[in-house]
Amino acid sequence: MEKYRFTYQDIHRTARDIADRVKASGFEPDIIVAIGSGGFIPARIIRTFLGKPILAVGVAYYDANDKPTDLPHKVQWIEEAEKKLAGKRILLVDEVDDSRTTLEYCVRELLRHDPAEVAVAVLHDKKKDKRGAIPAEVKRYFAGRTIPDKWIVYPWDAEDIDDHDAMAADNPPID
């Protein structure tokens, strides 16, 4: 199967591009919410350009007995901090918009706390039919790159980062 491999350099450039577009849109987040674990590194790089604090959330597709669940559920949430989300502008960050299920779930959970606005940013949006939908309350959606529906290998999953970077030179075409 053809895969896309992105290097840390690629990811950094894509994150900066997202931050530039967030700024250009006039959206000034008060807080970045990172969806773990794939959203942690992208959120941290975006913070370099937007300079806002990061809160982390985690969701899982497995229950307490390790059985697959159809929908995501919380495994780590911002319980104390979520009391402070009312009236705040939130930038929700993840690495990939694949089925959109996790993103929909996280947006809905955040909306329960009366934020002023929730915007979504992902490094990569896969062109495909999505199982989930971004709620209509979300007026701003930033995808660093829109790519065909193929598996992405991120640099943080590489066991040999030099091999990974070398193979990234042979990515399938994107456009």
Contact footprint for ligand G4P (CB under 6 A): 36-38, 94-103, 132, 151-152, 154, 157
Q: For helices 40-50 and 8-24, give the axis angle rounded to 10 degrees.
A: 50
For residue 132, state whether it binds Mg ion (rule: CB under 5 A).
no
Residue with Cβ nearer ligand G4P (49 or 156): 156
Least separation in angstroms between residue 21's CB and ligand G4P is: 19
Half-sphere exposure of 125 (CA within 13 A, CB side): 18
Separate counts of helices (H) and strands (E) for the chain: 4, 8
Residue with Cβ nearer ligand G4P (31 or 102): 102
Which residue sits closest to Mg ion, CB atoms considered? 38
Neighbours of 147 (CB within 10 A): 21
Catalytic annotation present for 98: yes
- Residues assigned a catalytic role: 98
